[in-house]
């Protein structure tokens, strides 16, 4: 799960998908394309909206997306078109490139819709982001582990 700061959207996406796939043998992580918040905890507003929904993301720490992540992961979900550009620019070959997906394309195929960056907004933005990611992660979880 990749966003810009790795403190608002992608930590939520990581926590939500982990909660839906806790029985499956999959490794889920998140990272940011920017280095502004390395080693920080998720934004308090992301922690709060996760908590209301029964998910604890307080142990997460922000890190930067690395080219080695293309070797570690089969699927790389980005939150918006800027993330898509930044991550795909790091791809070394067509296999790397094929791993990168816009997360809302799971819900709205081929529309390339952004999960809006909630960083400079209020709490409502975080609730909205949570809802979008929950819906997308439901579909991702069903694809990865159809038996639930
Ligand atoms: P995120 O939100 O990409 O969802 O983690 C942001 C967090 C911080 C900044 C931008 C976006 N920032 O510019 O510091």
Active site (catalytic) residues: 3, 9, 117
Sequence-distant (6+) residues with CB within 8 A of 113 are 102, 104, 105
Q: Are 8 and 47 in contact (CB under 8 A)?
A: no
Residue owning tokens 């609730």: 127
Query: Using a 6 Å CB cutoff, which residues line ligand 1?
Result: 3-9, 36-37, 117, 119
Ligand 1: centre distance to CA 36 (Å): 8
Q: Are 80 and 3 in contact (CB under 8 A)?
A: yes
Domain 2-144 architecture = 3-Layer(aba) Sandwich (3.40)
Structure-block tokens of residue 55: 């998910």
Residue identifier of the C-alpha nearest atom 9 of ligand 1: 5
- So what's the pLDDT on residue 38? 98
The residue ranges of the chain whose pLDDT is under 50 are none
- So what's the pLDDT on residue 60? 98
Task: Please state the domain extents for the chain.
Answer: 2-144
Measuring CA to CA, how many Å separate 50 from each of 33, 116, 131? 22, 17, 11
Sequence-distant (6+) residues with CB within 8 A of 146 are none
Residue to mutate (ligand 1; options 32, 50, 79, 133; most atoms within 8 A of CB): 32
């Amino acid at each position: 799960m990749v966003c810009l700061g790795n403190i608002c959207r992608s930590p939520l996406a990581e926590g939500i998908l982990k909660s839906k796939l806790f029985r499956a043998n999959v490794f889920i992580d998140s990272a940011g394309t920017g280095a502004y918040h390395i080693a920080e905890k998720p934004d308090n507003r992301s922690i709060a909206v996760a908590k209301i929904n029964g998910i604890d993301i307080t142990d997460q720490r922000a890190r930067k997306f690395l080219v080695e992540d293309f070797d570690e992961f089969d699927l790389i979900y980005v939150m918006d078109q800027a993330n898509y550009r930044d991550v795909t620019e790091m791809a070394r070959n067509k296999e790397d490139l094929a791993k990168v997906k816009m997360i809302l394309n799971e819900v709205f195929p081929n529309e390339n819709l952004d999960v809006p960056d909630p960083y400079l907004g209020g709490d409502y933005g975080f609730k909205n982001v949570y809802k979008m990611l929950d819906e997308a992660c439901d579909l991702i979880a069903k694809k990865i582990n159809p038996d639930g």
